[in-house]
Amino acid sequence: MTSGAGERKDPVCIVGGTGALGFGLALRLGQAGIPVRIGSRDAHRAQEAAQKASEAVPHATYTGYENAEAVTGVEIVILSVPFRNQSETLTNLKHALMPDQLLVDATVPLAAAVSGKATRTIGVWQGSAAQQAQEMVPEGLRVVSAFHTVSAALLTDLDHALDEDVLICGDRREDKAKVAELVSRIDGLRPVDCGPLELARIVEPLTALIISINVRNKVRAGIKITGL
Amino acid sequence: MTSGAGERKDPVCIVGGTGALGFGLALRLGQAGIPVRIGSRDAHRAQEAAQKASEAVPHATYTGYENAEAVTGVEIVILSVPFRNQSETLTNLKHALMPDQLLVDATVPLAAAVSGKATRTIGVWQGSAAQQAQEMVPEGLRVVSAFHTVSAALLTDLDHALDEDVLICGDRREDKAKVAELVSRIDGLRPVDCGPLELARIVEPLTALIISINVRNKVRAGIKITGL
């Protein structure tokens, strides 16, 4: 777990993998047989999370690194940090991210980022957090938006059988297909192509909607598209 | 169909009932045994739509009136007009709507209203079309937001078995319960309380998302909340 990340080629890295959603995704991806690198600002915390994930999913391969090291050489980087840290995180990764990588942004501009309600969002100048990410990553690196409607708690509860959709927005079909393939490997999750990246401004606020539904109905809601 | 609307008490009136969504809702409500008044700017067109609905659902009771007459005396007024006509319609109904009525706003601020794309929305100063409606109706009349994710085509196709949710936003539980009761009477539609009216700013754009999903996947999508 402490050897250099650059030496090996793991398919997926989760930046913010010590957070609730990131850790839940790590568990489910590991369960699906996909080696997962967990990234954190603090290498020690990343290694702790990798250790904890290994205990929860013994057959899986988890490693933990500081974010910049974690992203080095992986094909898909999932960015799962609070909105208030998104910009800083991407600035720090400026020289670590490479144009041939895919960044899957799971950030949600909840008003909680500015001490507001979790059932409200704040306006992002670029239209959405995903579009802000697209503006900040190195030239050529493409951003896909996903994972906003999946409950961190349900992902983490490995006894819970998932049965919901992952809404995916992105400008290139091949990129979305790659993310869809990853999503499909998790039992009970179905990928749905929602259109270009700009649609993220409709999908991201769904986290706030789901939080509102959860509060009102005392559930852990998700979303499923009918008619597909 | 041409006798004065004020004389009788129908439970529901659909302002814009000659439009695709309004007409589809009329069919399904009539099928559920609920007498429906169809409102239009043009009384003649309203009567034609009522006639057409009667032919599709012979056991139902449809009547058609000019909008202001149509809303008189009904308990629930469903507003189903293009966004570009919402403000004008509510101004015209200023003296016809009464504080003890419930207005169910189904308006979507699609960018199509300003010759933009149907997969984009425009910003409404009040936050959502429903909140604009709340600002315009007579003092005391409450607005509930609903029916944004239901396909007009699938409502109209009576051979299609519906199986999806209706997302409801509103500031008072009793009002939402009343709309939920109406929704529940339509086979295959389940009402979901999504929180206060301000959440309409997240739900309304879902129409644009669904249009984008439809285009990409060649389907007629709807939404279902999982975990309820």
Q: Which residues of B touch A196 (CB under 8 A)?
A: 212
CA distance A68 to B165: 43
Beta carbons of A107 and A148 less than 8 angstroms apart: no
Taking each continuous run of H as one helix and of E as one strand, the counts in chain B are: 9, 9
- Reported ipTM: the value is 0.92
pLDDT of residue A205 exceeding 80, the answer is: yes
Is A161 near chain B, with CB under 8 Å? no
CB atoms within 10 A of CB A23: 22
Q: Looking at the predicted structure, is the pLDDT value of residue A63 above 90?
A: yes
pLDDT at A9: 73
The helix or strand, by DSSP H or E, that contains position A93, with its residue range, turns out to be none
Residues of A with Cβ-Cβ distance to B161 under 8 angstroms: none
Distance CA A135, CA A129 (A): 10
Ranges of chain B whose pLDDT falls below 70: 1-8
Start-to-end C-alpha separation, chain A = 41
Is B35 within 8 Å of B8 (Cβ atoms)? no
* A222–B contact, CB cutoff 8 A: yes
Q: Contact B221/A215, CB-based, under 8 Å?
A: no
At A10, the pLDDT band (50, 70, 90 cuts) reads confident
Q: Is the dihedral of CA B57, B219, B207, B83 positive or negative?
A: negative
Best A212, A214, A219, A220 member to test B by mutation, with max B CBs in 10 Å, is: A212
Interacting residues of B134 by C-beta distance below 8 A, sequence separation 6+:
B126, B142, B143, B197
pLDDT value at A104 more than 50: yes
A203 interfacial to chain B (CB closer than 8 Å): yes
CB-based contact, B213 to chain A, within 8 Å: yes
Rounded-to-integer distance, Cα A159 and Cα B26, Å: 44
Which of B 31-70 lie inside 8 A of A, CB atoms? Answer: none
Q: CB contact, 8 Å: A218 with chain B? A: no
pLDDT digits (tens, 9 = 90+) for A66-78: 999 999 999 999 9
- Cβ of residue A168 closer than 8 Å to a chain B Cβ: no
Percent pLDDT > 70 in chain A is 96
Residue B59: both structure tokens together: 């056991």
Check whether A1 has a pLDDT greater than 90.
Answer: no
Contact B206 A208 (CB under 8 A): no
- Give the per-residue pLDDT at B6: 54
Query: What mean pLDDT do residues A102-111 have?
Result: 97
> What pLDDT, on the 0 to 100 scale, is given for residue A179?
98
A chain contacts of residue B213, beta-carbon cutoff 8 Å: 192-195, 225, 228
Per-chain mean pLDDT for chain A: 95
Torsion sign (Cα): B183, B184, B190, B192: positive
**B160 CB near a chain A CB, below 8 Å?**
no
pLDDT at B5: 59
Structure tokens at B207: 């129409």
Shortest Cα distance, chain A CAs vs residue B155, angstroms: 13
| A141-178 pLDDT per residue, tens | 999 999 999 999 999 999 999 999 999 999 999 999 99
Find the CB nearest A203 among B119, B193, B209. B209
Question: Cα–Cα distance between A117 and A111 in angstroms, integer?
Answer: 5
In this structure, what DSSP letter does residue B110 have?
A: B
Question: Which residue among B206, B216, B227 places its CB closest to the CB of A220?
Answer: B227
Please say if the pLDDT value at position A79 is more than 50: yes
In this predicted structure, what is the pLDDT of residue B9? 73
- What average pLDDT does this structure show over A184-204? 98
Average pLDDT of span A133-137: 97
- CA–CA gap between residue A103 and residue A97 (Å, rounded): 9
Q: Contacts of residue B227 in chain A, CB cutoff 8 Å?
A: 151, 154, 164, 219-222
Q: Which residue of A has its CA nearest to B154?
A: A227
> Which region, left, alpha or beta, applies to residue B132 given φ > 0 means left and ψ of -120 to 50 means alpha?
alpha
Cβ atoms within 10 Å, residue A104: 27
DSSP B139-163: TT-EEEE--SSS-HHHHH-TTS---
pLDDT computed for residue A6 by the predictor? 54
